[in-house]
Amino acid sequence: MQHTRTPAVTGWFTGEGDDFRLLGTRCPSCASVFFPREDAHCRNPYCDGDTMEEVPLSRKGRIWSYTDSRYRPPSPYVSNAELPWDPYALIAVELEAERMVVLGQAAPGITVADLTVGMEVEVVPGVLHEDEDTETTWTTWHWRPTGVRA
């Protein structure tokens, strides 16, 4: 059965494969970059910019911190309470050019044992949940150590 791929959060990422990118916004007045995106006005308290432009963010960065998620998270995360919970690694990544930290889940198969602070990682498309009732695959982003292929 072919599922329809739908972003879990519209406008936060785009593309597939090597073209996959997180999308942020930049203030033309002060050059501050934000993720998640800010469409209304600049959040920099020293700037009065009132327009924002969409920008693709760096695909690569370095692990700033990471942890094991050993509990079933609350909504909107969707999981079947009747099935056992599979822990996953949560990674904070400092983006290469923007020098900002973005959180995300590790790609499937990557555990905290595979990670070190300072390791280079890249953003890749990921699956948050597959809904069999609507035949929808809710997509998100994952972090994967560079040089590792699924």
pLDDT in 10s for each residue of the chain, 150 residues: 576 777 778 889 998 888 999 999 999 999 999 999 888 899 999 999 999 999 999 999 999 999 998 887 777 676 777 777 788 899 999 999 999 999 999 999 999 999 999 999 999 998 877 766 767 777 889 999 997 765
Residue ranges covered by each domain of the chain: 4-145
Q: Model pTM? A: 0.84
Within the chain, strands assigned E span 4-7, 13-14, 21-26, 33-34, 53-56, 60-69, 88-95, 101-106, 120-131, 136-145
Cα(137)–Cα(3) distance, integer angstroms: 6
Measured at the CA of 26, the angle between CA 15 and CA 39, to 5 degrees, comes to 80
